[in-house]
């Protein structure tokens, strides 16, 4: 099979996207800067930086430290708020033909719903990703995604106000005892899909100052260093779905995706979509390269369609 | 912001210059777009490198005819060490030009160009532009040691008003650029100062220039993960045109800022009057 014959289309909610690739939230801003390197309409979708109801300055600097095959960040959800996003950013994205998955968050339950509600009927929006797992909120002890009950409440509140045709994805943290338990709670609350994983909490010490390298002390670890954790989470949750213990919903995978082979690995583990994040900092033109590589990797293994590879690692052992 | 080009650029020259390394890269699409003050980033290692973050360097010079871009690299850690070791014929992932250039007034001005260490790299091209428009320039080049100065001869070829200052006295006067700044501004009646170097130096230069009524443009050095405006790590508090202070990105809103608008004393904290500080729980 020739790579160009491979069908990369991927279902998303009620629609079909040209391919399964999106950007990971917080790694592509609102798309404007990335558009200088990649035509946004050639991505399956564009996932925005997390949107909150009001402007947020984010944390003090230093906000970043490089680590082996990754980085720690402590941005703290800097943003101008949903009003600015809807007025100034979304129309620009829609004009360029971008299909936009909007990441939303709040400090409280009501704030998640408040942002989601303002996205109804807006141009370009194809879905909502509920960021219940950002480790950079003010009270780090209370990440919603660390508790099945709070995860359930937030997802339910967003699902209730969001337009019925907009799929609602819950973004999960790997920093939990049982990711399948949280996944189950989100699906029961009405999540149409699961995004996994957010960054995992880490810390680096500056050898010169001999204090934590980040102003926020801890930060979220991202990059290829965490890819095996992400693949494990996807595989575990997909396995529970196959076993019927969690209702089957699509999984959008992110965590250290760098190549087409990495995208294939996520698909084999059970992901119906994949997102490129920290890799964009190293190679902003990566999305088109990754799609080309993915076609090649699928063709080399005889997959005519991307969707045929989803969950393939779970097939029964043959003799 | 400039429209950047991402390219695999061949190293055509690699020469030591004092404590630094000068790399000339073939980048014919990027070269014509470069203005003084723009910067470039290089990726470290190949596509499987464990060092993911690009390293940022101000562009020393671009030659559109030759299709080349010149960077001055200082060895700071494992990433820059690897870049310094690149050989002629190697290919490096280059993104250029990035950021905002120094504003150059249309008419003739008297400008003082102030640099710490290899911060001087973009200032010679700027001096040429100012002179081409009928203006005059002076330089203050400072560094910890003589080996860490960059471009003293280039500066002398452009003007006779060149002051060299080193902290250890190994070249020129002993001291810091700020020790001679006020005197130098007065000597050439400078109405504008362009400064490039470490943050504490930029803060001090801005304050002296302001006192003497000179406009001060500063090219900041903040640590960056991406250099293209998507990671939000390189922010600093700056007063906007509407009078509201915000965290803005040094990579796309800068690196050149009006020094008077940068809240130097608040770098490293979230000041209470910053837009969105309340959402972080910061109270006045």
Contacts 24+ apart (CB under 8 A), B269-272: B269/A60, B270/A57, B270/A58, B270/A59, B270/A60, B271/B237, B271/B245
pLDDT higher than 80, residue B126: yes
- Is B244 within 8 Å of chain A by CB? no
Residue B79 CA to residue B81 CA, distance in Å, equals 5
Name the residue in chain B with its Cα closest to that of A137: B280
Would you say A105 and A52 are in contact if contact means Cβ atoms under 8 Å apart?
yes
Cross-strand bridge partners of residue B110:
B136
Residue A58 CA to residue B279 CA, distance in Å, equals 8
Q: Which residue is it, tokens 């409440």?
A: A153
> Does A233 participate in catalysis according to the annotation?
no
- Partner-chain contact B229 A29, CB within 8 Å: yes
Interface of B with A in 197-226 (CB under 8 A): 222-223, 225-226
Q: What is the pLDDT of residues B229-247, one digit of tens each?
A: 999 999 999 999 999 999 9
Neighbours of A217 (CB within 10 A): 12
- Partner-chain contact B230 A62, CB within 8 Å: no
Q: Which residues of B touch A62 (CB under 8 A)?
A: 223, 233, 268
Residues in chain B: 284
Would you say A85 and A30 are in contact if contact means Cβ atoms under 8 Å apart?
yes
Nearest CA-CA partner of B150 in B14, B12, B17: B17
Residue B54 CA to residue B40 CA, distance in Å, equals 9
3-state secondary structure of B231: coil
Task: Give the mean model confidence (pLDDT) for residues B181-205.
Answer: 97
pTM: 0.96
Nearest CA-CA partner of B15 in B67, B51, B78, B60: B60
Identify the residue among B199, B263, B266, B276 best suited for mutation to test binding to A, counting A beta carbons within 10 A and taking the highest.
B276
Neighbours of B283 (CB within 10 A): 7
Would you say A132 and A143 are in contact if contact means Cβ atoms under 8 Å apart?
yes
Phi, psi dihedral angles at B237 (to 5 degrees): -80, 120
- Partner-chain contact B228 A69, CB within 8 Å: no
pLDDT higher than 90, residue B221: no
Nearest CA-CA partner of B27 in B69, B60, B61: B69
Would you say B222 and B248 are in contact if contact means Cβ atoms under 8 Å apart?
no
Q: What is the pLDDT of residues B99-116, one digit of tens each?
A: 999 999 888 999 999 999
Q: Which residue is it, tokens 């014929």?
A: B89
- Partner-chain contact B230 A33, CB within 8 Å: yes
- Partner-chain contact A281 B52, CB within 8 Å: yes
What is the residue-level pLDDT of chain A in tens, covering all 319 positions?
899 999 999 999 999 999 999 999 999 999 999 999 999 999 999 999 999 999 999 999 999 999 999 999 999 999 999 999 999 999 999 999 999 999 999 988 999 999 999 999 999 999 999 999 876 555 555 688 889 999 999 999 999 999 999 999 999 999 999 999 999 999 999 999 999 999 999 999 999 999 999 999 999 999 999 999 999 999 999 999 999 999 999 999 999 999 999 999 999 999 999 999 999 999 999 999 999 999 999 999 999 999 999 999 999 987 5
Task: Give the mean model confidence (pLDDT) for residues B254-267.
Answer: 97
Name the residue in chain A with its Cα closest to that of B274: A57
3-state secondary structure of B101: coil
Classify the phi-psi angles of A13: left when phi > 0, otherwise alpha if psi is within -120 to 50, otherwise beta: left
Distance (Å) from the C-alpha of residue A53 to the closest C-alpha of chain B? 10
């Amino acid at each position: 099979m020739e790579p160009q014959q491979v069908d990369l289309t991927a279902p998303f909610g009620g629609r079909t996207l040209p391919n399964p690739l999106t950007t990971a939230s917080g790694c592509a801003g609102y798309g404007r800067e990335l558009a200088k390197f990649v035509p946004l309409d050639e991505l399956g979708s564009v996932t925005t930086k997390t949107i909150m109801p009001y402007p947020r300055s984010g944390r003090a600097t230093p906000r970043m430290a490089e680590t082996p095959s990754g980085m720690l960040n402590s941005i703290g959800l800097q943003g101008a708020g949903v009003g600015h996003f809807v007025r100034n950013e979304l129309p620009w994205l829609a004009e360029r033909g971008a299909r936009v998955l909007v990441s939303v968050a709040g400090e409280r339950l009501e704030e998640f719903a408040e942002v989601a509600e303002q996205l109804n009927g807006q141009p370009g929006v194809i879905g909502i990703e509920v960021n219940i797992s950002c480790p950079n909120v003010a009270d780090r002890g209370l990440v919603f995604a660390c508790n099945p009950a709070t995860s359930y409440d937030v997802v339910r509140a967003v699902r209730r106000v969001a337009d019925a045709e907009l799929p609602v994805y819950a973004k999960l943290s790997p920093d939990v005892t049982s990711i399948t338990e949280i996944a189950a709670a989100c699906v029961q609350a009405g999540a149409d899909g699961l995004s996994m994983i957010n960054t995992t909490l880490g810390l680096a010490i500056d050898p010169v100052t001999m204090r934590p390298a980040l102003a926020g002390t801890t930060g979220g670890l991202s990059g290829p260093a965490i890819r095996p954790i992400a693949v494990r989470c996807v595989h575990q949750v997909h396995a529970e779905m196959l076993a019927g213990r969690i209702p089957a919903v699509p999984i959008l995978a992110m965590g250290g995706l760098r190549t087409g082979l990495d995208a294939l690995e996520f698909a084999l583990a059970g992901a119906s979509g994949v997102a490129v994040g920290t890799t964009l900092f190293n190679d902003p033109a990566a999305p088109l390269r990754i799609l080309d590589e993915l076609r090649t990797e699928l063709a080399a293994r005889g997959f005519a369609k991307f969707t045929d590879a989803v969950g393939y690692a779970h097939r029964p052992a043959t003799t | 912001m400039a429209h950047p080009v991402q390219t695999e650029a061949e190293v055509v020259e690699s020469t030591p210059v004092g404590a630094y390394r000068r790399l000339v890269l073939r980048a014919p699409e990027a070269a014509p777009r470069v203005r003084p003050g723009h910067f470039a980033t290089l990726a470290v290692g190949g596509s499987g490198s464990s060092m993911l973050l690009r390293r940022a360097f101000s562009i020393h010079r671009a030659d559109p005819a030759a299709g080349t871009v010149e960077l001055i690299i200082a060895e700071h850690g494992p990433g820059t060490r690897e870049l310094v070791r690149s050989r002629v014929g190697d290919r490096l992932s280059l993104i250029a030009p990035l950021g905002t250039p120094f504003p150059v007034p249309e008419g003739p001005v008297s400008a003082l160009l102030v640099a710490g260490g290899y911060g001087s790299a973009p200032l010679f091209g700027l001096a040429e532009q100012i002179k081409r428009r009928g203006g005059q320039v002076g330089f203050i080049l400072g560094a910890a040691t003589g080996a860490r100065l960059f471009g003293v001869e280039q500066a002398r070829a452009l003007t006779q008003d060149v002051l060299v200052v080193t902290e250890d006295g190994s070249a020129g006067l002993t001291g810091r650029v700020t020790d001679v700044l006020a005197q130098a501004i007065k000597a050439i009646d400078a109405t504008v100062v362009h400064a490039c170097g470490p943050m504490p130096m930029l803060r001090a230069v801005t304050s002296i220039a302001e006192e003497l009524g000179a406009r001060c443009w500063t090219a900041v050095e903040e640590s960056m993960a991406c250099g293209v405006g998507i990671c939000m790590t390189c922010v600093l508090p700056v007063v906007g045109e509407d009078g509201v202070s915000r965290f803005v990105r040094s990579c796309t809103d800068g690196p050149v800022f009006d020094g008077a608008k940068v809240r130097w004393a608040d770098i490293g904290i979230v000041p209470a009057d910053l837009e969105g500080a309340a959402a972080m729980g910061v109270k006045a």
